[in-house]
Amino acid sequence: MSLTDALRLLLRHWKLLLAVPLALGTTAFLLTRHEKKVYTSETTLYTGIASGYTLKGNAETDFFTTNNAFDNLLNLIKSRETKEEVAYQLLACHLQMKDQLDPALLNWNSLMRLHGLLPAELRRRLTGPTQAATVERVRAYASANDTNELYRLINSFDPVYSVDALGHVNAARIQSSDLIKLDYEAEDPAICRHTLLLTTEVFIGKYRGLRMDQTATVIRYYEAETAKALQVLNAAEERFLAFNRDNNIINYYEQTKYIAGEREGLYADITKIQMQYAAAKARLGAIEQKLAGRNRALLSTDELLQQRRELEQVQAELARQQLYGRLREPAAPADVPRLQARIGELTQTMRTTLNDHYSQLNSVEGIPSKGLIDEWLRNMLETSDNKAKLDVMLRRKQEFMEEYHKMAPLGATLKRIEREIELAQKTYFSLLTSLNDSRASQQNNELTTDLKVVAPPFLPLHAKGGKRLMLVAGGAFGGFFFVATTLLGLGLLDKSLRKPSLVAARTGLPVLGVLPPPAPTPPAPDSYADSALDHLARQVIRRASSQDAPTPYAVGVISTRRGEGKTHLVSSLVARCQRLGLEVVAAYPEGAAPDAQASEYPPVVAAVQRWPLARITQNRPAHLLVVELPALLEDTYPVAPLPELHLLLLAVRSSRVWEPKDGQALQDIRSLTAAPVEAVLTGVEAYESRELLVQHESRPRRPRLRLAFWRRRATA
């Protein structure tokens, strides 16, 4: 569909395009004649979410975190709990006034309206000594059940106290700033302002409580867990202290290190003393073998043995004192010199005893006995000294072994206790760090949840512009748009043969002319119907008046279906040709003749008996023969006269759709005759025939053919 076609379609239905918008606009105007005045107020709050200051410094600009925080805040403002709490407080504030009007909170009409909503007895029961008490009573009564007056009021569509009305509190972030804007509209300007105040107070309190409750719960958890961890740590340290005290441990690792070092030194000393003792003992035995007789017996005297035993005891005590003193164990510092002096005395005493009992100067081998006895005395002193040291060291070795057997299992136990202490300490420090972080987060929440009201709500003095004009204009425009869209849509979906170009494109036949819808009266001169009939008649006469056209000229009028306007086409064509002075004979199927004087023929009999054209037209002389044939797809039509026809006119109704079976019927009829087939579009509106009639009318008109032409042609 072209733009011209669309405009023509809209212009054709201009009455509908005007009537529907006018009706809708008038309806909207009448329905909004009682529109109430509405007042609007707004408030602005600073949140500090995106660029505020916290305990850690300036807030980090995280896009997703910031959007999430603003979404939480806006959803909290729009939540049902916030709306219900605002409704409770608003109603309680108005009930608290009783019959004393406060213009800053509501006007007289709103107060009277409240009295009509709630009975006096219920208002008296809900009103408390203070506003806080009234709020508690209102909240308790509304939540008691779902059948009382207050519950139904809160959940109704009341324009002031319902959750639905408070849902009109709009909250939005101002661009990408830290500001949030709230606006509300109501019929009472005081209620409009007061509702915004209460909404701000309620949602700020809920927001702060929500944030603080989160951190408070976490803090309580960490406090309890930190206390438990501290008890576990203290218990582990007490076990560690008791273990060290019970086992005389000052520093286990230093003690074991010292014992290991002393043991290694002791083992080396033992080896050295054993070697010295073995050497001294061997030398002493050799000397005793060299001494013989009375000299050897001298060594076994009671006095000498007594002195020797005492010497060994003193040497053993000295060795013990020296060893334990080196190991830093308790010992009397004055005992070592005393013992050394006593050893010197005993050595001298033994030397004197040996000298007193000495009776033989030379030995058997010729070595002086005096020298052997002195050497024996030195080796005996060295042997007894080494033996005493060795005995003390062996006892000390045994003590070391006992100490090792004692300290070895203590290390594993002590290690386990230390691991318990370390684990408890780490757990305690971790929980303590988390507790401190949570307390810092709580303090940070106290700072960041302190929303500031930048612009408090104002009391509106002028009503907001009504929506009446917009509704009227919207209704009118919507009606126009709906009708225009519907018409254009139907036009685009229309597949009918509404104009000659579509007929030529879909049927493949040239269009001879168009025929307007039947009218009860003859067409007026120079009208569209008169021009269409004149054009159609001229086209037929032009073909019948050509040099090779036979006389009479036979025209057949066909259609694929009934109701295509064949009879109207034949009668109109005959009337116009007769008006031009031609002799025309028309033949109609039985029951289709427009008047009693018209000629009719039986189609079934003519088809069965193969009537020729002359019999169908009853051999009536004429210049032009017009025969109407029955519908090709629905009736029986005679085939015999088809080869005698000189022109076939296919009548096609403009409101129908051309289908494949119509094309097949046309192919069948064209196979039976050599006459050209042209289409005539019937029932065409004037604006649809312009492409054919204007083109024809733009040509110079031919003079009307007179009867004399046909007479001359017949004579020739």
The dihedral region occupied by 253, where left means phi > 0, alpha psi between -120 and 50, and beta the remainder, is: alpha
- Residue 654 near residue 564, CB atoms below 8 Å: no
Pick the residue with more confidence: 253 or 590? 590
Pick the residue with more confidence: 698 or 152? 152
Say what the pLDDT of residue 684 is: 84
Q: Report yes or no on 682 lying in a domain.
A: yes
Same domain, 13 and 68: no
Which pLDDT band, with edges at 50, 70 and 90, does 650 fall under? very high
Amino acid at 340: Q
Same domain, 264 and 157: no
Distances (CA, A) of 249 to 241, 243, 254, 407, 570: 9, 8, 10, 9, 137
- Residue 127 gets which letter from DSSP? -
Q: For 157-209, what is each residue's pLDDT tens digit?
A: 998 899 999 989 999 988 888 889 999 998 889 999 999 999 999 988 888 88
Same domain, 50 and 150: yes
Q: Sign of the CA dihedral 426, 431, 435, 437?
A: positive
Say what the pLDDT of residue 522 is: 78
Q: How many residues does the chain have?
A: 716
Q: Report yes or no on 217 lying in a domain.
A: no
Burial class (CB in 10 A: 0-12, 13-18, 19+), 550: exposed
Same domain, 26 and 141: no
Say what the pLDDT of residue 713 is: 46
Residues β-bridged to residue 649: 557, 678
- Residue 46 near residue 178, CB atoms below 8 Å: yes
Distance (Å, whole) CA 43 – CA 33: 31
Same domain, 674 and 631: yes
Same domain, 1 and 134: no
Q: Report yes or no on 116 lying in a domain.
A: yes
Distance (Å, whole) CA 298 – CA 354: 8
Burial class (CB in 10 A: 0-12, 13-18, 19+), 263: middle
Tokens of 36: 């109430």
Q: What is the mean pLDDT of residues 518-536?
A: 82
Q: Report yes or no on 238 lying in a domain.
A: no
Terminal-residue alpha carbon distance, the chain: 52
Same domain, 331 and 438: yes
- Residue 549 near residue 716, CB atoms below 8 Å: no
Query: What angle (nearest 5°) sits at the alpha carbon of residue 353, between those of residues 351 and 356?
Result: 110
> Where is the domain boundary, 379, 413, 447?
447
Same domain, 135 and 158: yes
Domain count, the chain: 4
Q: Provide the domain limits for residue 282.
A: 252-447
Q: Report yes or no on 586 lying in a domain.
A: yes
Q: Report yes or no on 247 lying in a domain.
A: no
Q: For 122-134, what is each residue's pLDDT tens digit?
A: 888 888 888 889 9
Same domain, 514 and 530: yes
- Residue 465 gets which letter from DSSP? P
- Residue 195 near residue 203, CB atoms below 8 Å: no
Lowest average pLDDT, out of 243-257, 288-302, 448-462, 575-589, goes to 288-302
Residue matched to tokens 């576990």: 232
Distance (Å, whole) CA 412 – CA 233: 19
Treating both helix axes as pointing N-terminal to C-terminal, what angle do 660-670 and 500-507 enclose, rounded to 10 degrees? Answer: 70
Contacting residues for 653 by C-beta, under 8 A, at least 6 apart = 497, 563, 564, 565, 682, 683
Q: Report yes or no on 281 lying in a domain.
A: yes
Q: For 578-618, what is each residue's pLDDT tens digit?
A: 888 888 889 999 888 887 667 889 999 998 999 998 888 88
Distances (CA, A) of 190 to 39, 110, 299, 345, 434: 9, 10, 134, 124, 49
Q: Phi first, then psi: what are they for 38, rounded to 5°?
A: -125, 135
Residues β-bridged to residue 186: 39
Residues β-bridged to residue 681: 514, 652
Pick from 620, 531, 534, 641: which is nearest to 628 by CA?
Answer: 641
Residue matched to tokens 């193969």: 610
Same domain, 437 and 528: no
Going by DSSP bridges, is the β-strand pair 677-682/511-515 parallel, antiparallel, or unpaired? parallel
Distance (Å, whole) CA 544 – CA 675: 13
Same domain, 195 and 296: no
- Residue 389 near residue 205, CB atoms below 8 Å: no
Question: pTM of the prediction?
Answer: 0.47
Treating both helix axes as pointing N-terminal to C-terminal, what angle do 468-493 and 3-12 enclose, rounded to 10 degrees? Answer: 120
Q: Report the CATH number that the domain containing residue 597 is assigned in CATH.
A: 3.40.50.300
> Where is the domain boundary, 447, 479, 508?
447
Same domain, 476 and 581: no
Say what the pLDDT of residue 556 is: 93
Percent of the chain with pLDDT over 70: 75
Amino acid at 243: F
Q: Report yes or no on 104 lying in a domain.
A: yes
Lowest average pLDDT, out of 121-130, 147-156, 703-712, goes to 703-712
Tokens of 687: 């604006």
